[in-house]
Amino acid sequence: MRLKLRNIFLVYFVVSSVCLLYALLQIGQPCDCTHQLRADSSSHERHQHSVVLRRRCNPHGEDRLPVIYVVTPTHARPHQRAELTRLSQTLLLVPSLHWILVEDSTTRSQLVADLLVQSGLHYTHLNVQTPPVMKLKEGDPNWLKPRGVEQRNEALRWLRENKLSGDTGVVYFADDDNTYSVHVFEEMRYTKKVSVWPVGLVGGLRFEGPLVEKGQVVGFHTAWKTHRPFPFDMAGFAVSLSLLLSHPQVQFDPNAERGFLESSLLEHLVSVGELEPRASNCTKILVWHTRTEKPKLKQEEMLEKQGRGSDLNVLV
């Protein structure tokens, strides 16, 4: 009997020791939330838990990160909802982000309002109409007149009216038809004045952007209007919120010469030598100037004339 008790005690001691050793080894291991996400049965639950758990795993907390204010002009067109859905789901992957979506319209549309509510993002929904004289007419090439100028300036007005000089953050002008890597947002987050990086598939080149030597911008890789003060795309820079707030009169010039819209803002904020190169000294492409092909809806127009058009209650 004593031998059996001794054996039981010995087995209990060994098992307990092993469990204690395993527990001690787990202390200090990085948080891994993926197994909790897999346990969720529905996609809606999975989305909600992913946000909560991501914040729980962040020891510093999202609230301490500088906020990235993403300014997006948009206008009504058949593929608007598709463009905004794609962009919103990219932005959802970026912590501490505030989306400022500005419609080119006299009123804020229900379509955009519903999309923003469902996006899960922190957002501000604004609207301002481009003056008719500045609008493209049917058949005009995209480059004939600058687009989104009034909407970007409206976002700047909102920031200056609602943010304090001590607020930290960065402002990025992201069109709704570009393609963005989530990494570009982390590159810009700690911008001091103006940070820059190359943009793919723009200016008739594979990419266009700053040339960097010893960590400083010394020129630009571009082939079109090379005399521009800042010859790069709108998607290729971000501006410190505090810098914009300290220059309350600076905005985009709606009458700027073609290709000079970016320069009309930046030349009042920074010099070329003060630009902060990102994306491994501007050697990595993290944003692309893509454009969605305009949908061909001739058959839809034919059916509409026959009174058999697609159900307008179905959002596309």
List the binding residues for Mn(2+): 177
Question: Between vectors from CA 81 to CA 187 and to CA 55, what angle results, nearest 5°?
Answer: 40
Give dist(CA 260, CA 204) in Å, integer: 16
Q: Classify each residue of 144-157 as buried b or exposed e, where b means 16 or more C-beta atoms within 10 Å of its C-beta.
A: ebbbbbbbbbbbbe
CB 43 within 8 A of CB 50: no
Identity (one letter) of the amino acid at 64?
A: R
Locate 292 and state its tokens: 């969605």
Catalytic site residues? 262
Give dist(CA 161, CA 248) in Å, integer: 10
CB 119 within 8 A of CB 86: no
For residue 263, which phi and psi values (nearest 5 degrees)? -65, -30
Sign of the CA dihedral with 188 first, then 168, 103, and 300 last: positive
Residues annotated within a binding site: 177
Which of these, 17, 126, 144, 1, lies nearest to 69 by C-alpha position? 126
